[in-house]
Homo-oligomer: A and B are copies of this chain.
Amino acid sequence: MEPMPTVPRSEIEMRVRALQERARAADPPLDALLVVQNADLYYLAGTVQTAHLLLPATGEPRLLVRKVLERARRDSPLGDIRPLGSLKELPAQLREVCGAPPWRLGMELDVLTVNLHRAYARIFGEDAEILDASPAILGARAVKSDWEVSRLREAAEIHRGLFLELGEILRGGFEGSSYELQSLLEYRARLLGHCGIIRMRGLNVETALGLVVSGRDGVVPSYSMFPIGGEGPHPWVAQGGGSRPLQRDTPIIVDFLASREGYHADCTRMAVMGRFPDGAAELLAGLRRLLRFCEESARPGAVPAEIYAAVRERAAAAGLAAGFMGPAGYQVRFIGHGVGLEVNETPVLAPRFDEPLVPGNTLAIEPKFTHPEWGVIGLENTYVVRGDGVENLTPFAEEVIG
């Protein structure tokens, strides 16, 4: 097999060390982590092959691969990669990297299912106490390296191309539904280098590559955690583009997740066929001012919950309280979220997120407003927190496309 570039060895080493520090600093301290989820495996080993990563609190990690060993060895820069015939071998492997039991073993209890957890608990028996390692893992992942930021910036190039194509499509006169435009943009995004899948964390958490919603269709609230609703193609999907034909002179919101090799950039622009309504343009200008305010506020040391509260206050002062971040009664309670190998990462600009921002945090900031006539109006850029403020990784024209 030809080698393929995934994650450089120096990145993996840095991540492993950072996570080991967090494991040792956890309360109680963890003796080792056993990592099984795809995004976490990719983060720490550079591969999503079916594998267990044994990460002792000190010393070298060991990747135990059930399937496919050769691909894991090709993808991953880790030095110690071995086959795993059966889960029953795990205690002996842990003893080799970590010394004699008892062990405090960290696993991803935010995604591990109850039945899998019970299977691991049976295998380790009295020798291991299984604790939640997800705060340590997600905390480490929340601070991006320059290499990671470059991956987000490259992913955002898909947005640049997609928005150009979107303008051509709309000026050519698109005859179809919002769901069909959404499907076309998903296809074009793949031709522009999108790897084709989106990873999000948690039970029942799902999304398409992007959402295209127009006019009053956007007033329909969604069950999801997103500030954009929409009918969706069917109650089974129940979000995003629906089956009604797109209308002229009606705002279209296009919220897309770009990913070339795992790292997501998240960006939203408005579009229209024909003329964008004056009132909607004013609304958009107000939301853009809120976005500028967020850009100025999100700097190292700033507290996410406080930024959120301040943005809400500004929105209210600008007369934007009623449909801010969703239709009345269904407003989501955040204004931005971390983004990386998964879409729903930390930090979140939301209540109760009290840990101050640090350089390397990413934020997809998305002021959106649901208007009874025009539907969802809004903008979104993906930023990285730098030493002196934020850098916009999606620095594309914010004008209405079309």
Residues in chain A within 8 A of chain B (CB atoms): 1, 4, 6, 36-38, 42, 46-50, 67-68, 70-71, 74-75, 109-117, 132, 134, 179-180, 182-184, 186-187, 190-191, 195-197, 199, 202-204, 206, 208, 220-223, 232-238, 259-262, 330
**Which residues on B sit within 8 Å (CB–CB) of A49?**
223, 238
Q: Which 7 A-B pairs have the closest CB atoms?
A: A187-B187, A183-B190, A236-B262, A109-B114, A49-B223, A75-B235, A50-B223
Contact residues of A: prevailing secondary structure: loop
Chain B residues near A46 (CB-CB < 8 A) = 235
B203 touching A116, Cβ below 8 Å? yes
Query: When the two chains form their complex, are residues A36 and B204 in contact, meaning their CB atoms are under 8 A apart?
Result: yes
Interface centre among A111, A222, A235, by most chain B C-beta atoms within 10 angstroms, is A235
> 30 A-B contacts, Cβ less than 8 Å apart?
A38-B204, A47-B238, A48-B236, A48-B238, A49-B238, A67-B223, A68-B221, A71-B238, A75-B235, A75-B238, A109-B113, A110-B114, A113-B113, A113-B202, A114-B114, A115-B134, A179-B190, A180-B190, A180-B191, A184-B187, A186-B187, A195-B232, A195-B233, A195-B234, A196-B233, A197-B236, A197-B237, A234-B260, A236-B259, A236-B261
Please pick, from B68, B191, B260, B262, the residue contacting A222 in the complex, using a CB distance under 8 A.
B68
Instruction: Write out the residue numbers on chain B whose beta carbons fall within 8 Å of the beta carbon of A199.
Output: 206
Distance in angstroms between the alpha carbons of A260 and B233 in the assembled complex: 9
Flag if A71 contacts B221 (CB, 8 Å).
Answer: yes
Q: Which of A109, A202, A236, A261 has the most CB of B within 10 A?
A: A236
Within the assembled complex, what's the spacing in Å between the Cα atoms of A235 and B137?
Answer: 21
Chain B residues within 8 Å of A109, by CB: 113-115
Bound-state CA distance A223–B220 (Å) is 39
Contact A48 to B6, CB < 8 A, known contacts A37-B204, A111-B203, A116-B203: no
- Report the minimum CB–CB distance from A272 to chain B (whole Å): 23
Residues of B within 8 A of A191 (CB): 180, 183
Contact flag A206-B196 (CB < 8 Å), given A49-B238, A235-B46: no
User: With A4-B234, A114-B109, A187-B183 as given contacts, are A197 and B203 in contact (CB-CB < 8 Å)?
Assistant: no
- A183 CB contacts on chain B under 8 angstroms: 187, 190-191, 196
Q: Contact at A68–B330, with CB atoms within 8 Å?
A: yes
Complex contacts, A134 vs chain B, CB 8 Å = 115
Q: How far is the CA of A48 from the CA of B50 in the complex (A)?
A: 30
The chain B residue sitting closest to A201, CB to CB, is B113
A203 touching B113 in the complex, CB below 8 Å, given contacts A67-B223, A236-B262: yes
